[in-house]
Amino acid sequence: MEHPLLGLSLAALGFTVLSFHVLRLVRVLVQTFLIPGISLNTYGAKRGAWAVVTGATDGIGKEFALQLAKKGFNVFLASRSPEKLGEVAGEIESNYGVKTKTYAIDFSKDDAASYAGLEAALTGLDVGVLVNNVGKGYEIPTNFLDYPQSEDSAIVTINISSVLRVTKLVLPGMIARKRGLVLNIGSFSGAFPSPMISVYSGSKAFLQAWSQCLSTELQGTGVEVELVNAYFVVSKLSKVSRPNLMAPTPKAYVASLLRKIGVPCGSLGRPGSVTPYWSHAVGDWFVQNYAPKGLLLGYINNMHKDIRRRALKKKERQAKKD
């Protein structure tokens, strides 16, 4: 070699860069599989504290309510259907022997009276955990200009306004008690812009930025704020009906999160965020670090076009049967 020093320098640089990325992957894997999260006892489990869960009667929300009750929290359930609220509350009390309270509220209606009632219902409760789970997505992927304004407004009201309002009701008490956990259920659609579900994607991107800001503002108060970066989970919202490698059941997903409080896993390097489920964590790390953003946008757009095409064909077949 004519320039051995140059060759050695380039080799050393290559080794350094490779080592950096390998070590980051190792950190993600160690956090995801080995490092335990903060104990829920820190937030008052088994000591009379309450967990507040919005959207608590189906899917992930219901599973949060069940698993937090099993961990020893009393549970405050907020959702739209009084009948479903009663069913979930009864299941919790009979299985776990903790207290429950329910409050029926339609989070798509941003009215002062409903939130005044919620505030009154929460008064006097030692709230240790808040799970901002309620959310609204698209029935099928749709271009922005073809999506009704009423649906735009509903997504913004449910996915953003409700989170801000409920958090403002609960947070002062947490700060006063110097302990609390706020979990905001986000989405990969917030981390990676997602054409054809643009309003939903934007609402989850807001939650990501806001959660990171709030987490930083509350440092030193004893209150932990985390944006939960979820990919597909079997649920009505995701329209995934069977579990697979990338779409766990709500039970498996919630269990993975509650084991990793305070541990970013796949969200390594993004303060105030956690990607807890193992396949989501690895996928998140890879896409954030290596996926070309332009190609990713195009891929997501084409994927949603295909989903829309198949959904419309299914509707046509169903209409013919009817």
Catalytic pick from 200, 231, 253, 277?
A: 200
Taking the C-alpha atoms of residue 1 and residue 17, their distance in angstroms, rounded to an integer, is: 23
3-state SS string over the chain?
CCCHHHHHHHHHHHHHHHHHHHHHHHHHHHHHHCCCCCCHHHHCCCCCCEEEEECCCCHHHHHHHHHHHHCCCEEEEEECCHHHHHHHHHHHHHHHCCCEEEEECCCCCCCHHHHHHHHHHHCCCCEEEEEECCCCCCCCCCCHHHCCHHHHHHHHHHHHHHHHHHHHHHHHHHHHHCCEEEEEECCHHHHCCCCCCHHHHHHHHHHHHHHHHHHHHCCCCCEEEEEECCCCCCECCCCECCCECCECCHHHHHHHHHCCCCCCECCCCCCCEEECCHHHHHHHHHHHHHCCHHHHHHHHHHHHHHHHHHHHHHHHHHHHHC
In terms of phi and psi (left: phi > 0; alpha: psi -120 to 50; beta: otherwise), the region of 148 is beta
CB atoms within 10 A of CB 240: 16
Catalytic residue at 200? yes
Taking the C-alpha atoms of residue 114 and residue 119, their distance in angstroms, rounded to an integer, is: 9
Residue 187 in marked binding region: yes
Taking the C-alpha atoms of residue 184 and residue 203, their distance in angstroms, rounded to an integer, is: 12
Catalytic residues: 200
Residue set of the binding site for substrate: 187
Residue set of the binding site: 187
